Amino acid sequence: MGPNPLWQAEALIESMPLQPGSRILDLGCGTALSSIFLAKEYGVEVWATDLWIQPDENLRRITEAQLVGQVHPIHAEAHALPYAENFFDAVVSIGAYHYFGTDDLYLGYLTRFLKPGGRLGISLPGSASEPETLPPTHLAPYWKWDFCAWHSPGWWRHHWEKTGLVAVDVADQLPHGWHDWLQWNEACDLDGGQPGREEARMLHADGGRTLGLTRAVAHLR
Ligand SMILES: C[S@@+](CC[C@H](N)C(=O)[O-])C[C@H]1O[C@@H](n2cnc3c(N)ncnc32)[C@H](O)[C@@H]1O
């Protein structure tokens, strides 16, 4: 659904290695491709949690991947998670956290589901730094109002650290992230996807100046 979730998952896990058998919440997993990837590649157990995609649709993919019992499809809204406190070793969220996580108080809600020392890692669209004006002038023709939730690595670091709940281990832009994102949109365009074409124009206009994929990883204090 977003810029290739498997490329993003792989880049995220480089910064937060996962132990086989760990319990992972994949929050905003969409079509659960990242959940399947994490289970297959790292031997973890994943709760594939999403709002817009129905769990029976994800179960079909999980069944095809022969991961029933290791990847659990769950329909839930990010503010009403049906999990026990201190349950997860890590939360990962790919291309989704900006839909709910920019609220100052959200981190305090989410981290209650992590074990002590548990980790949170996100990868999502963002800018290299916070623009002085929105939209940035060169991106004005392509801008949609909800891009205001695309933030810089520094913004996420401050957003999380100011709670005192977590220590931030990594906050950066994925190397070549903007180019991966562009390649993805061009592939979607070839496949007939209009959003792919519009975003590709914007990414070309930006040329890696500011847009990219922000990665942030933190652990519970
Ligand atoms: C752009 S899609 C990314 C999906 C997938 N992670 C990927 O990279 O392909 C954003 C996802 O965030 C999920 N999402 C948005 N708001 C949410 C919320 N409030 N609670 C749970 N999931 C939410 C949507 O259901 C959607 O699947």
Please tell me if the CB atom of residue 1 comes closer than 6 angstroms to any atom of ligand 1: yes
Q: What is the pLDDT of residues 53-93, one digit of tens each?
A: 999 999 999 999 999 999 999 999 999 999 999 999 999 99
Task: Tell me whether residue 110 is in a domain.
Answer: yes
Which amino acid would we find at residue 118? G
Q: Is the CB of 94 under 6 A from ligand 1?
A: yes
Question: Does residue 123 sit within a domain?
Answer: yes
- 106 in a structural domain: yes
Residue 157 sits in which domain range? 5-129+150-177+210-220
> Relative to the CA of 26, which ligand 1 atom is closest?
6
pLDDT digits (tens, 9 = 90+) for 112-149: 999 999 999 999 999 999 988 889 999 999 999 999 99
Please state, in angstroms and rounded to a whole number, the distance separating the CA atoms of residues 54 and 51: 7
CA–CA gap between residue 30 and residue 169 (Å, rounded):
26
Compute the distance from residue 1 Cα to the ligand 1 centre, in Å.
9
In the prediction, which pLDDT does 195 show? Answer: 62
Whether residue 17 is contained in a domain is answered as: yes
Q: Is residue 91 part of a domain?
A: yes
In a domain, 134, yes or no: no
* Domains in the chain, number: 1
What 3-state class would DSSP assign to 179? Answer: helix
Assign residue 17 the CATH number of its domain.
Answer: 3.40.50.150
Does any ligand 1 atom lie closer than 6 A to the CB of residue 57? no
Rounded to an integer, what distance in angstroms lies between the CA atom of residue 107 and that of residue 15? Answer: 19
Which residue is associated with the tokens 């659904």?
A: 1
Mean pLDDT confidence for 35-59: 98
Q: Which atom of ligand 1 is nearest to the CA of 93?
A: 6
Phi and psi (nearest 5°) for 63? -65, -45
CA distance 206 to 202: 6
Is the model's pTM score more than 0.75? yes
Cβ(30) to ligand 1 under 6 A?
yes
Mean pLDDT, rounded, for 165-170: 98
99 lines ligand 1 (CB under 6 A): yes
Handedness of CA 160, 32, 7, 193 (dihedral sign): negative
**Residue 189: inside a domain, yes or no?**
no
Ligand 1 centre to CA of 172 (Å) is: 21
Task: Tell me the two tokens of residue 130.
Answer: 């916070």
**Selection from 205, 204, 199 nearest residue 185 by Cα:** 199
Q: pLDDT at position 197, please? A: 82
Distance 94 CA to ligand 1 centre (A): 8
Residue 82 lies in a domain: yes
Judge if the beta carbon of residue 50 lies within 6 A of ligand 1. yes
